[in-house]
Structure formats: C-alpha cells, structure tokens
C-alpha cells in the first residue's frame, strides 16, 4: 500500500505541533532543499553526483553511518563537492525504539564515521548537527534529547515515496505537483529507491530551475526562517 496521498495531510498536521523541527523553509522565498536519504551507495550515489555536477546544484545527504563506513570513498566524494551532510542514524533503526544512551551512541557513531571517511578532525563534529529520524518517526522525548545534544531535527515537505518504486514519471509528477517555496524534497540514493534516483533527479532539476527555484542547503533553510 502506498501512503503518498497522506503525506501532505500528515505534514500540515504535525508542523504546528512540533515547530522545533524543520518542516519547511521560508514560504516567501523560492529556495528549496533537495535531500537524499539512506546513502551513500557505491553505484547510485556516484550516478547521482554526475547529475548534480551537470546542473551545478548542491544537495543535502542524510547518511546512515553503516554505509559511510562501508563506502568511505563515496562519502568523501560527496563531501568534497560541497554538498550538505546530515545524519539519518547508523542502521536506520527507528529512534523511539532506542534508549537514550543507544540513540546518543547511534548518532555519535554516525558522526564519527563521517569524520573518518572525509578525513576531518574530531573538532568538526559539531559541523554535522542535522538529523532526520528514520521513517520520520519521533516522539516529544526524542526531540527533547536531540535538542539537549545540540542536534537539529529535519523533516520534509515533499515525499514522493520513491522507495516503493512507483516509476520515475510518477515520482517526478509528485514532486512538481507538490513543491512550493521553502520545500524540503525527500528522495533516496540507498538500496530502496536509489536505482532510479539519478534519472529522477535529471528530470526534476531542469523543471525546478525553470520555475525559478534556488536549490539550497538545509542550513540555508534554517537561517531563512530567521529573516
């Protein structure tokens, strides 16, 4: 069963209840974030990077620590191109199922994997504060812990459900129909959904650029809310 029609309703309902999360940037600015979850992947991510290079677009990658450790050269290639990096957990465990200590270690281990893969000094750990909970699942306690540990919870605006492989044309249609100023678009470059991520991105980027959207970092969207 596909839940795509429910995501816009879910987004509108949860956004006012949990304002400490980044659900959308400034709705008066045509700046949007293109985000990719579940990577890095040894094939899908390099293919995606080629597309992003072609359009000179910076995207946002929410990584699983386990895959960063498996494919550090891919992770470093993403980082060296200036894309924004966030955390998606170590092995995609739902955060509410973890104890506070397990959650802390899960995120810390993911940050450590990124630092090692990208040849960064440990003091750069604070440069990776953005966290997207796997499956979008969290509780008020989860958010309290993330804030206590100085993480920034990042959610989404546009979820075309590419991980169930509905077809490139359908994913593209869903993105273009629902994107709006400040949107966070969620695609996947991991095992699920990654097979077509490069082709999907190749189709949606010219459409978004033609509509006058600026592709920006998650950090940019956070700051846009301050203006």
Q: Give the separation between CA 10 and CA 106, rounded to whole angstroms.
A: 27
Q: Give the separation between CA 138 and CA 135, rounded to whole angstroms.
A: 9
Q: Give the separation between CA 218 and CA 111, rounded to whole angstroms.
A: 17
Whole-number pLDDT of residue 1: 44
**168, two tokens:** 């490139």
Task: Examine residue 6 and state whether it is found in any structural domain, yes or no.
Answer: no
- Give the CATH number of the domain where residue 80 resides: 3.20.20.370
Cis peptide before 40 (omega within 30 of 0): yes
Q: Give the separation between CA 143 and CA 162, rounded to whole angstroms.
A: 26
Q: What is the DSSP string of 54-86?
A: HHT---EEEE-HHHHHH-HHHHHHHHHTT-EEE
3-state secondary structure of 214: strand
Whole-number pLDDT of residue 11: 65
Q: How many domains does the chain divide into?
A: 1
Task: Examine residue 201 and state whether it is found in any structural domain, yes or no.
Answer: yes
Residue 59 contacts residue 36 (beta carbons within 8 Å): yes
Whole-number pLDDT of residue 155: 95
Whole-number pLDDT of residue 9: 64
Instruction: Write out the chain's pLDDT in tens, 227 residues.
Output: 466 666 676 667 677 788 899 999 999 999 999 999 999 999 999 999 999 999 999 999 999 999 999 999 999 999 999 999 999 999 999 999 999 999 999 999 999 999 999 999 998 999 999 999 999 999 999 999 999 999 999 999 999 999 999 999 999 999 999 999 999 999 999 999 999 999 999 999 999 999 999 999 999 999 999 86
Task: Examine residue 7 and state whether it is found in any structural domain, yes or no.
Answer: no
Whole-number pLDDT of residue 41: 98
**Strand-pair partners of 158:** 185
Closest CA to 32 of 223, 226, 220: 220
Whole-number pLDDT of residue 12: 72
Closest CA to 20 of 125, 138, 182: 138
Task: Examine residue 106 and state whether it is found in any structural domain, yes or no.
Answer: yes
Whole-number pLDDT of residue 109: 97
Which residues constitute the domain of residue 36? 24-224
Global confidence as pTM? 0.95
Task: Examine residue 17 and state whether it is found in any structural domain, yes or no.
Answer: no
């Amino acid at each position: 069963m596909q839940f795509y029609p429910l995501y816009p309703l879910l987004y509108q309902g949860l956004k006012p209840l949990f304002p400490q999360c980044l659900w959308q940037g400034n709705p008066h600015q045509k700046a949007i974030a293109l985000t990719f979850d579940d990577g890095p992947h040894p094939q899908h991510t390099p293919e995606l990077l080629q597309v992003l290079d072609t359009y000179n677009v910076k995207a946002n990658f929410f990584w699983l620590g386990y895959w960063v450790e498996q494919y550090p050269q891919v992770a470093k290639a993403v980082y060296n191109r200036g894309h924004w990096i966030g955390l998606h957990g170590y092995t995609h465990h739902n955060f509410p199922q973890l104890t506070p200590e397990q959650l802390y270690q899960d995120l810390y281990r993911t940050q450590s994997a990124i630092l090692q893969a990208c040849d960064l000094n440990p003091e750069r750990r604070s440069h990776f504060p953005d966290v997207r909970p796997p499956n979008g699942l969290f509780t008020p306690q989860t958010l309290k812990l993330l804030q206590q540990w100085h993480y920034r919870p990042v959610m989404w605006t546009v979820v075309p459900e590419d991980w169930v492989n509905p077809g490139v044309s359908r994913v593209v249609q869903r993105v273009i129909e629902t994107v709006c100023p400040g949107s966070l678009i969620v695609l996947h470059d991991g095992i699920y959904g990654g097979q077509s991520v490069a082709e999907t991105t190749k189709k949606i980027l010219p459409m978004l650029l033609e509509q006058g959207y600026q592709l920006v970092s998650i950090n940019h969207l956070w700051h846009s809310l301050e203006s």
